[in-house]
Structure formats: structure tokens, C-alpha cells
Amino acid sequence: MDTFGTRLAAAVTTHGNLCAGIDPHPGLLAAWDLTDDAEGLESFATTCAEAFAGHIGVVKPQSAFFERHGSAGIAVLERLLEAFDGTDTLVILDAKRGDIGSTMDGYADAYLGVKAPLGADAVTLSPYLGFGSLLPGLDAAADAGRGVFVLARTSNPEGEQVQLATVGGRSVAQSIVDAAAARNAGAEPLGDVGVVVGATNDHGLDLTALNGAVLAPGLGAQGAGPADIRVRFAGLRGIVLPAASRSVLEAGPDVAALRGAAQSLRDELSAAV
């Protein structure tokens, strides 16, 4: 299997760099005239797969909105992942997992290993028990040809207390970026360890050595526009994946309209960035 970095570069070349969120929260299910249960969730997921698979470079299901329906919701998530398998659309599962020791080993088995039952092309991880605590996940991902996106500088105000704290003259967020860059050093066309950096505010990070991808949530309904993406990630050596959910999903449940909304936003990004 090609590395995640290789597959991501190919997907972005073919379909652009928009990352379309798949976030079936209760309000959106209602707006689509779907029931807030596993049956409604299944319909939502099937529609998104039909609209995006093979037409958009990257999608990002939010695991929490599937987990809230219990085992039936997890089963829907598994089928959603299978629906994109074998297409040239990559899936980043937004699960934000992170722990230590054998517990991190368990998360690696669930999401990142060769036979991971919830294995996507990449998974988001939280490093705030220390970047080194993620090593079982990073190693499992590398062995399986998967990627990870490690939280670095999120857009929520509460994150500043930890992420902007300084240690040894640099912020914690910058140390996360630097650790990711060290994992990616020498990789071609880019490494498998990305970072998550919110697009709604100036992040203040040096991304020039990352040699990986930045997942940048906040495009669209959260306030960031294509011009903001261009300015805030101008120094990146790698790929930026602006993520939009509500501004795309509000076009559903019609498959053609949903696909058109995603492709229109993708084209706006291409023109601006």
C-alpha cells in the first residue's frame, strides 16, 4: 500500500483540497427530515457517501455523532468507512483519541492497525498527555499505511491555556508541530503525520518544516473564508485541508445538490489558494 502522504497528495491533485465534514448532529438530521436514531443516521451516511465518494478529495466523519447512537451508530460508521474504501476519496475519522500505555495500544488496534475495525485513511489524535504517548498509534499507522492528524492549535478559546503555554521558549502548540515535522523528515511527497490548526484565527505557528498536511477546520459556517486560508497557511510546506461541514451539508439531502455545494466550495478554494 502507498503511504498516506502519497495517497493524500494524489487525492488533492485529482479532486482539490476541500475536506467535507460528515457531521450528523441532531439539528442536521431534523433539517434533512430524518429521525434522530440509527435509521436516520444510516440514511444520512448513505447520502453523504453517494455525494462525495470519488468526487471530493477528503471527507471527515465526526465519530461522536455516530457514537451517540450506541452500537447501532458505530455499525453505521463502519459501513460508512467501507463505502469509501476503494475510492479515491480519503477519509479522516475525527475521533481525537489519545492515552498512555496499553490504553493507547488499544486505540491503535481499533483505529490504526492493519486490521483495525474502525480504520480510516487517517485519524485525529490528541497529544496532551505528551506527544510521546502517541507512539503506539504513530507506529501502527505507519505499518498500516495510514495517517494521523495531531491536535496542535485549535480555535476554541479554552485551548489557549494549554496550547499557548511556553516551555523552553516555544509554545506547546509549536512543540507539537515540531514533533510532527521530525516524524515527517525526509518523506516524499510528504509525511504521514499531520496537525490540526484552526482556520478561524491567526495561529502564530511556524509550519515551514512540517512536510505534512494541516487539517484546518473552520471554513464556511464558522467564519473562515478561502482568502483566510491563503493568508494563514502561506508558509506551509505541505498541504492544507480546509474543513467545512455545515456550509456544505445544509445543501442536502439531495445528492446532486450536496455534491454541487462541496464542489463549488472546492473550486472557490482552488481559485483563492
Residue 256 has a CB neighbour count (10 Å cut-off) of 10
Which of the following is catalytic: 36, 50, 78, 96?
Answer: 96
DSSP code, position 233: T
Look at strands 166-167 and 170-171 and give their pairing: antiparallel
Active site includes 115? no
Residue 268 has a CB neighbour count (10 Å cut-off) of 18
Show contacts of 46-49: CB within 8 Å, 24+ apart: 46/83, 47/252, 47/253, 47/255, 47/258, 48/22, 48/80, 48/249, 48/252, 48/258, 49/80, 49/83, 49/84
User: Which residues are known to be catalytic?
Assistant: 96
